[in-house]
């Protein structure tokens, strides 16, 4: 199933906060939306699922498996959310209901979309908790969010998003609120789940170093517009836009633990090669002509999974 976003706009009042964003996510592809805070990447994700704030108006086109989602009634969209497209938010505390057990929340989507009984849903919740490597699944599903650690809450949120085996997962900065060790574990978990199920992935982040660990193609946003679209290896080795160059500088300022987990400069960890060098050393051939640089550059957009990346 393919996600096709074409000329997406989001207006809040008289201000256009997403302006002509276009990209494709073919079946099984892993595409990243990356940009600094306020670039419009999270609003883009919310627009896909019809979850924008009440005062926001979406325009353009978002097609999922040939069906137009923009303007679709919320009742119809609700049959797609969770069942076909799952989403994981940045802060699990806000995504989880504090007065409901973890198991009940994981099992809710399968009760709604698959019509399972309460007993069947609990058994499914235990299985999903085990799948995301939550400890002692039988007991942990009876706990409440405040009784779990931050990393455990995010694993529970991932289990909720994937319980119905959606074909596309949108992950909106799912590791930002976690420390670097837990961040690496969550990234590894997401990658293994996506690969095992053959799902497509839209991963949203402000960190090019993180993106390099999980996505193959990147769409760079600034002020609500796409400024560059290219394979991640190209973004690391030959960034075309000033925004991407700044993101690369930030990424290469980060030291890396063996195994890929980011570390602070004062950690004493042995640094690995920077992300760009790692890309060059991986055997991937850097492309000499990055796709769709900044607006007005005249560059021809590249025909990759995140094609149509130029701003409108």
Per-residue pLDDT of the chain (312 residues; tens, 9 = 90+): 799 999 999 999 999 999 999 999 999 999 999 999 999 999 999 999 999 999 999 999 999 999 999 999 999 999 999 899 999 988 877 789 999 999 999 999 889 898 899 999 999 999 999 989 999 999 999 999 999 998 899 999 999 999 899 999 999 998 887 888 888 888 998 999 888 888 999 999 999 999 999 999 999 999 999 999 999 999 999 999 999 999 999 888 764 444 444 443 333 333 344 555 444 444 444 444 444 444 444 444 444 555 544 444
- Please report which helix (H) or strand (E) contains residue 243, including its range: helix 242-252
CB-neighbour burial class of residue 15 (10 A; exposed 0-12, middle 13-18, buried 19+):
exposed
Is the distance from CB of 149 to CB of 134 less than 8 angstroms? Answer: no
pLDDT at residue 179 in the model: 80
- Predicted local distance difference test score (pLDDT) of residue 299: 43
List the one residue out of 311, 304, 183 whose CA is nearest residue 232: 304
What are φ and ψ of residue 59, in 5° steps? Answer: -135, 180
pLDDT for 305 equals: 54
Q: What is the pLDDT of residue 64?
A: 96
The confidence score (pLDDT) of residue 254 equals 64
Separation between Cα atoms, residue 204 and residue 35, nearest integer Å: 9
pLDDT at 275: 53
Report d(CA 159, CA 153) in Å as an integer. 10
The rounded distance, in Å, linking the Cα atoms of 259 and 137 is: 27
| Phi then psi dihedrals of residue 6, to 5 deg | -135, 120
> pLDDT by residue (tens digit) across 102-113?
999 999 988 989
Please give the pLDDT value at position 33.
Answer: 97
**Are β-strands 255-256 and 56-64 bridged in parallel, bridged antiparallel, or unpaired?**
unpaired
Helix (H/G/I), strand (E/B), else coil: 257? coil
| pLDDT tens figures, 207-257 | 999 999 999 999 999 999 999 999 999 999 999 999 999 999 988 876 444
pLDDT of residue 48: 95
Kindly report whether the global pTM for this prediction surpasses the value 0.85. Answer: no
């Amino acid at each position: 199933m393919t996600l096709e976003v074409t000329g997406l706009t989001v207006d809040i009042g008289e201000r256009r906060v997403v302006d002509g964003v276009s990209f494709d996510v073919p079946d099984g592809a892993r595409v990243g939306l990356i940009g600094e805070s306020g670039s419009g990447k999270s609003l883009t994700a919310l627009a896909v699922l019809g979850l924008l704030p009440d005062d926001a108006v979406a325009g353009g086109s978002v097609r999922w498996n040939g069906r137009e989602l923009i303007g679709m009634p919320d009742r119809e969209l609700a049959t797609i959310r969770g069942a076909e497209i799952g989403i994981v938010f940045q802060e699990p505390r806000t995504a989880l209901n504090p007065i409901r057990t973890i198991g009940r929340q994981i099992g809710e989507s399968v009760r709604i979309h698959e019509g399972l009984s309460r007993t069947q849903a609990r058994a499914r919740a235990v299985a999903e908790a085990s799948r995301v490597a939550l400890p002692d699944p039988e007991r942990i599903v009876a706990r409440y969010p405040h009784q779990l650690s931050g990393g455990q809450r995010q694993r529970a949120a991932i289990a909720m998003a994937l319980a119905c085996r959606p074909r596309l997962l949108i992950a909106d900065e799912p590791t930002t609120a976690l420390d670097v060790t837990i961040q690496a574990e969550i990234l590894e978990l997401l990658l293994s789940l996506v690969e095992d199920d053959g799902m497509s992935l839209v991963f949203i982040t402000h960190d090019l170093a993180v993106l390099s660990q999980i996505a193959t193609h990147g769409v760079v946003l600034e002020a609500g517009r796409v400024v560059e679209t290219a394979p991640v290896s190209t973004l690391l080795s030959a960034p075309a836009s000033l925004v991407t160059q700044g993101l690369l500088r930030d990424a290469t300022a980060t030291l890396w633990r063996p195994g890929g987990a980011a570390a602070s400069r004062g950690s004493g960890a042995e640094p690995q090669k920077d992300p760009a060098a790692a890309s060059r050393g991986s055997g991937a051939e850097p492309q000499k002509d990055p796709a769709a640089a900044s607006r007005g550059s005249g560059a021809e957009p590249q025909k990759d999974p995140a094609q149509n990346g130029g701003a409108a």
